[in-house]
Amino acid sequence: MTLLHVESLTKTFAGLTAVRDVDVDVTDGEFLGIVGPNGAGKTTLFSLLAGQLEPTRGRVVFDGQDITGWGPAKVASVGLVRTFQLMRPFESMSVLDNVAIAAHGRHRSRKAARRAALEVIDRVQLDRYVHSPSGSLPTAGLKRLELARALALEPRLLLLDEVLAGLVPAERAPMIELLREIHADGMTVMFVEHIMAAVMALSERLLVMAEGAELALGDPHEVITDPRVVEAYLGEDYA
Amino acid sequence: MSATSTAGTPGTPDPGATRRPSVGLDDPRLKDRSTSRTYAALALIVALLAVLPLLLDEQTEAVAIRTLIFAILAVGWNLMSGYGGMFSFGHAAFFGIGAYTDAYLLVEHGVSPWISMLVGATISAAAGTLIAFLCLRYRLAGAYFALATFAFAQVFLLAVQNLDFLRRTEGFNVPLLLEDSWSMMQFEQGSPIYFWIPLAVLALGLFGTVAFVNSRAGQYVQAVRDDEVAAASLGIRVMRYRLVTVALSCAFTSLAGAFYTQYYFFVGPEQAFGSGVSVNAIVPAVIGGIGTVFGPLVGALVVGPLSEWIAQILRDPPESLAFLQGVTGLDVAIYAALLVLIVLFMPKGIYGTLRDRFRS
């Protein structure tokens, strides 16, 4: 079943086209990797899907419902949730309260929200930091906090924006394992990432973007050997 | 170029049913000791303060009552500006609405102040919500938001000074009754009831603050204050929860205004809507610590007596300061100096700084 249907999605900023005519369908339960050089429009694509930006043109249909132009809160409430590449913790709050804020979307009472938050915190292995101020977390912890908040909303589609960036190699493996578990539990994921080893390990399909447009989409191993993709990354001499 | 999934394998339809660890309702990490401690501390403070008017002489009680009015103003301001992150420089508008609603309904229609308090609170909540909506709708933040609220408060001041039915610059005198009356909130001069009423209002505000900041709406608005974009992306309707906070803050602040009219038996445009009133709401909260439960109270305990001391010096200066006789505005000058010192050395206010130091 198609969970997300994206049609000719385009975003123009004062003459610069950041995202150009992107068409992609995401199937329920799928893990879709998205790669591309810096400035390819990956994060802008997420912002268009999650409602931080309004598209100039095109259509976004989520779970059969046209959500084009919806604001971020409304999009999140129907189950399409993103994380941010630059972590955005609520710094005055503890890790527990950060996650409980998200869990409040499904649980009205403080106690129920905190309980649901604790389950997610345990799951992403932030349990050592439950009562720590979120601002005091190391990078790896903040990345997990971003993930935990998104999971606490119990989304149907999770947009992960470089959750591995800034992690040292030793921290990457457990994070990749965690993402694999989350996906194995049935979560549909769109995964923007530069670390190719992780992308190849997790993705069932791969979307390559360059200069705002879709360059290739399909089986990860086939896509990365596509001459157009090699050229976009390395220049035409290597293609 | 259009594509549908070909290689994707659909996941199991029941997410997380087997793998998710379960947290029991009795998990010790769910205990919220600090909130219960805060409630207990507040109960103790209110109980101790309640005895105060029985011990104080009439003049000192007047200072204590003025301190309570400062505290109520600051507690109200703190909800919106401290916890909500929307810096108001126009809380005089809501104090003024409370004061004038009380005065107008009492003098013109003989309405009981208790009812006027509720009416004033409702009008304040509506006015505050509208003002905040306009400011937020046009994306005013920080200093621009503060200036806009200041401008709205000035509009109220000018409007009252030019409206006949609000007696322009003359103001309202509360008619004196011959005997004590609960329903008209009038008591013998120096009666402890004049202390207990604002104390009860303050207690409502302090307990209400704790309940609010621990509620879903209160948590949401603090998240919005910390990071609006992240909050919205977690499904929080930013505008709605900001306006809820503003409405509570404005409604509560107007209670101080209604009591002011009843206690001083007079209210005019400057006492109600003057910019000095907005300063009186901000200064105790900033000195004590914004975004904390106890900060506004601590700040009021500094500013209340200080304002009385300044007034005394101006009324009857010692020889060496004779030039101060009859000077106005000294209080504002001293508050300004105090604010600079606080911002430089205790940016989180007296209570906020001490709390952080104590914790670490």
Give the model confidence (pLDDT) of A168-224 as tens digits.
999 999 999 999 999 999 999 999 999 999 999 999 999 999 999 999 999 999 999
- Per-residue pLDDT tens listing for chain B (360 residues): 344 443 334 444 444 444 455 788 888 888 888 899 999 999 999 999 999 999 999 999 999 999 999 999 999 999 999 999 999 999 999 999 999 999 999 999 999 999 999 999 999 999 999 999 999 999 999 999 999 999 999 999 999 999 999 999 999 999 999 999 999 999 999 999 999 999 999 999 999 999 999 999 999 999 999 999 999 999 999 999 999 999 999 999 999 999 999 999 999 999 999 999 999 999 999 999 999 999 999 999 999 999 999 888 888 888 888 888 777 778 888 888 988 999 899 999 999 999 988 887
Chain A residues closer than 8 Å to B23 by CB? 115, 118-119, 122
Q: What one-character DSSP code corresponds to residue B325? A: T
How far does Cα A60 stand from its chain's mean position? 16
Would you state the pLDDT for residue B358?
87
For chain A, how far is it from start to end, CA to CA, in angstroms?
A: 36
Question: Do the Cβ atoms of B242 and B221 come closer than 8 Å?
Answer: yes
B11 vs A186: CA distance, rounded Å:
4
The burial of A233, by beta-carbon neighbours within 10 Å (0-12 exposed, 13-18 middle, 19 or more buried), is given as middle
State the maximum Cα–Cα separation within chain A, in Å, rounded to a whole number.
60
Phi–psi pair at B37, nearest 5 degrees? -65, -40
For chain B, strand residue ranges (E) read 172-173, 266-267
Dist CA B113 CA B120 (whole Å):
10
* pLDDT reported for residue B360: 72
Count CB-CB contacts under 10 A for residue B116.
Answer: 25
Cβ distance B3 to A88 less than 8 Å, yes or no, reads no
- Asked whether residue A4 carries a pLDDT value surpassing 60, the answer given is yes
Q: How far off is chain A from B121, nearest CA to CA, in Å?
A: 27
Integer Cα distance of A71 and A68 in angstroms = 9
* Residue among A23, A185, A224 with most chain B CBs within 10 A, to mutate: A185
State whether ipTM is beyond 0.85.
yes
Gap between the Cα atoms of A35 and A209, Å rounded: 6
Under 8 Å between Cβ of A158 and A150: yes
Question: Exposed, middle or buried, B29 (CB in 10 Å: 0-12/13-18/19+)?
Answer: middle
Question: Nearest residue of B to residue A180 by CA position?
Answer: B11
Tokens of B186: 């009038």
pTM of the model: 0.91
Identify whether the C-beta of residue B185 lies closer than 8 Å to the C-beta of residue B262. Answer: yes
> Out of B3, B22, B237, whose CB is closest to A73?
B237
| pLDDT at residue B8, as a whole number | 37
Query: Can you say whether residue A54 is alpha, beta or left, with left for phi > 0 and alpha for psi between -120 and 50 degrees?
Result: beta
CB contact under 8 A, B235 and A181: no
In this complex, the residue of A81, A109, A186 whose CB is nearest that of residue B13 is A186
State the burial class of residue A12 (Cβ atoms within 10 Å of its Cβ: 0-12, 13-18, 19+).
middle
Q: Look at residue B321 in the predicted model and tell me its pLDDT.
A: 83
Q: What is the C-alpha to C-alpha distance for residues B124 and B94, in angstroms, rounded to an integer? A: 5
Which residues on A lie below 8 Å from B13 (Cβ)?
29, 186
Are the beta carbons of B11 and A205 separated by less than 8 Å? Answer: no
- In B, which residues are within 8 Å of A223 by CB distance? none
User: CB contact, 8 Å: A24 with chain B?
Assistant: yes
pLDDT at B327: 79
Both tokens assigned to A76: 């999140």
Q: Which residues of B touch A187 (CB under 8 A)?
A: 11, 15
Q: What is the DSSP string of chain A?
A: -EEEEEEEEEEEETTEEEEEEEEEEEETT-EEEEE-STTSSHHHHHHHHHTSS--SEEEEEETTEE-TT--HHHHHHTTEEE--SS----TTSBHHHHHHHHHTTT--SHHHHHHHHHHHHHHTT-GGGTTSBGGG--HHHHHHHHHHHHHHT--SEEEEE-TTTT--HHHHHHHHHHHHHHHHTT-EEEEE-S-HHHHHHH-SEEEEEETTEEEEEE-HHHHHH-HHHHHHHH-GGG-
Angle between helices B216-226 and B238-264 (to 10 degrees): 110
Using the Cβ of A100 and the Cβ atoms of chain B, whether some distance falls under 8 Å is answered with: yes
- The alpha-carbon gap from A225 to the nearest alpha carbon of chain B, in Å, equals 17
Show the tokens assigned to B35: 């909130």
Q: Kindly report the nearest CA distance between residue A224 and chain B, in angstroms.
A: 15
Chain-chain contact of B5 with A102 (C-beta, under 8 angstroms): no
Task: Decide if pLDDT at A121 tops 70.
Answer: yes
Min Cα separation B323/chain A (Å): 47
* CA A150 – CA A160 distance, rounded (Å): 9
CA–CA distances in Å: residue B20 to residues A116, B11, B14, B15: 11, 16, 12, 9
**Type of residue numbered B186:** Q
Q: By the 8 A CB rule, do B95 and B272 touch?
A: yes
| Alpha-carbon gap, residue A81 to A99, rounded angstroms | 14
The pLDDT, as a whole number, for residue B4 is 42
User: Are A50 and B235 within 8 A, CB to CB?
Assistant: no
Task: Tell me whether residues A113 and B216 touch, CB distance under 8 A.
Answer: yes
Q: In this predicted structure, what is the pLDDT of residue B20?
A: 52
Max Cα–Cα distance, chain B, nearest Å: 93
The torsion of the CA quartet A225, A226, A227, A228, rounded to 10 degrees, works out to: -130
Closest to B154 in 3D by CA, of B120, B131, B172: B131
Window from A48-57, A90-99, A228-237, B197-206 with minimum mean pLDDT: A228-237
On whether any CB of chain B is under 8 Å from the CB of A54, the answer is no
Fold classification of A2-88+140-238 (topology level) = Rossmann fold (3.40.50)
Q: Which residue has the higher pLDDT, A101 or A231?
A: A101
Tell me the C-alpha to C-alpha distance, in Å, between residue A175 and each of A88, A191, B31, B78, B298: 19, 13, 29, 41, 46
**CATH class of the domain at B33-359:** mainly alpha
CB atoms within 10 A of CB B6: 11
Pair of tokens at residue A229: 């993709």
Is B220 close to A187, i.e. CB distance below 8 A? no
- At A109, which amino acid appears? S
| φ, ψ dihedrals at A16, nearest 5° | -95, 125
**Which structure tokens are listed for A93?**
């709050």
| pLDDT of the residue at A191 | 97
